[in-house]
Amino acid sequence: MTSTSVPAAALALGDDALVLSHRLGEWAGHAPVLEEEVALANIALDLLGQARVLLSLVGDEDELAYLRDEREFRNLQLVEQPNGDFAHTIARQLYFSGYQALLYETLASGDGPFTGLAAKAVKEVAYHRDHAEHWVARLGDGTAESHQRMQRACEALWRFTGEMFQPVEGLGFDLETLEPAWLAYVAGVLKKATLTVPDGPRKGAWSAGAGRQGLHTEPFGRMLAEMQHLRRSHPGASW
């Protein structure tokens, strides 16, 4: 593992956590019930903590978060997708937390630069995953309306999931080895929720790892402008 590969991996994983943290934070004041507002805020804070540790391995965490341009971010396109309705947010969370749990379990079992972070993050992500599972089951096996919305959300985000298993330099293992376990996990959760696993393409246009290469979807630019607005409007200010 070269000295440059660790920052590359830390940037990719850190950007995933940072961007999803911001997306979940957008639910503040808008969640369907107060308990969910607290739950989503806690998940967002967990992800922000992971992002801070990872980005600090690369450089100044604040500058990396607030002063980079869109093409310099290396996050998955999945995590930048808009919240949509609550089902859409939960589908995104199921896909990502299922992947992240497998990722950190693998990193925690090794002896590399991410072992310490992964050992702590495994416990956090287990809660994130359980939370998503609970809501997928509740919505999927709920009313006809909630079932339809949950199914529609799973299908809408399916095409972004293939990118999770594209190579990331510096991780020390092949992410593709996690894909069968992830597919089996998602299929099991959806089956219990009386939902159908989407049959659309998972790679296609995303097989090159577009987000990892700095190629992002249109909603990301708007999200980034909002996230960075204060820092860019008042450079050098402190609170």
Q: How far is it, in rounded angstroms, from Cα 153 to Cα 91?
A: 6
Q: What is the pLDDT of residue 31?
A: 74
The one-letter amino acid at 187: A
Q: What is the pLDDT of residue 207?
A: 46
At residue 66, does pLDDT exceed 70? yes
Structural domain that includes position 66:
5-233
Q: How far is it, in rounded angstroms, from Cα 227 to Cα 221?
A: 10
Within-domain flag for 97: yes
User: Cα dist. 154→64, 126, 160, 198 in Å?
Assistant: 31, 20, 11, 7
Query: What rounded mean pLDDT belongs to the chain?
Result: 92
Q: Indicate whether this model's pTM tops 0.85.
A: yes
**Cβ within 8 Å of residue 74, ≥6 positions away:** 8, 11, 12, 15, 211, 212, 213, 214
Within-domain flag for 186: yes
Chain segment 16-62, per-residue pLDDT in tens: 999 999 999 998 888 778 788 899 999 999 999 999 999 999 999 99
Q: How far is it, in rounded angstroms, from Cα 73 to Cα 227?
A: 13
Q: What is the pLDDT of residue 230?
A: 87
At residue 187, does pLDDT exceed 60? yes
Q: What is the pLDDT of residue 1?
A: 45
At residue 205, does pLDDT exceed 50? no
Q: At what angle do helices 179-192 and 86-108 cross, to 10 degrees?
A: 140
234 exposure class (CB count in 10 Å sphere: 0-12, 13-18, 19+): exposed
Within-domain flag for 239: no
Q: What is the pLDDT of residue 3?
A: 47
Q: What is the pLDDT of residue 239?
A: 59
Within-domain flag for 93: yes
At residue 129, does pLDDT exceed 90? yes
Q: How distant is the alpha carbon of residue 208 from its chain centre?
A: 18
Within-domain flag for 115: yes
Within-domain flag for 121: yes
Q: What is the pLDDT of residue 4?
A: 56
What percent of the chain has a predicted confidence (pLDDT) above 90? Answer: 82
Within-domain flag for 109: yes
What is the per-residue burial (b if ≥16 Cβ within 10 Å, else e) of 182-205?
Answer: beebbeebbeebebeebeeebeee
Within-domain flag for 127: yes
Q: Which of 124, 1, 128 minimizes the C-alpha distance to 57?
A: 1
Range 127-149 average pLDDT: 98
Total structural domains in the chain? 1
Q: How far is it, in rounded angstroms, from Cα 212 to Cα 78?
A: 11
- Report the CATH number that the domain containing residue 42 is assigned in CATH: 1.20.1260.10
Range 202-214 average pLDDT: 70
C-alpha atoms less than 13 angstroms from C-alpha of 100 in its C-beta half-sphere: 34
Q: How far is it, in rounded angstroms, from Cα 132 to Cα 92?
A: 9
At residue 225, does pLDDT exceed 60? yes
Q: What is the pLDDT of residue 2?
A: 45
Chain segment 90-114, per-residue pLDDT in tens: 999 999 999 999 999 999 999 999 9
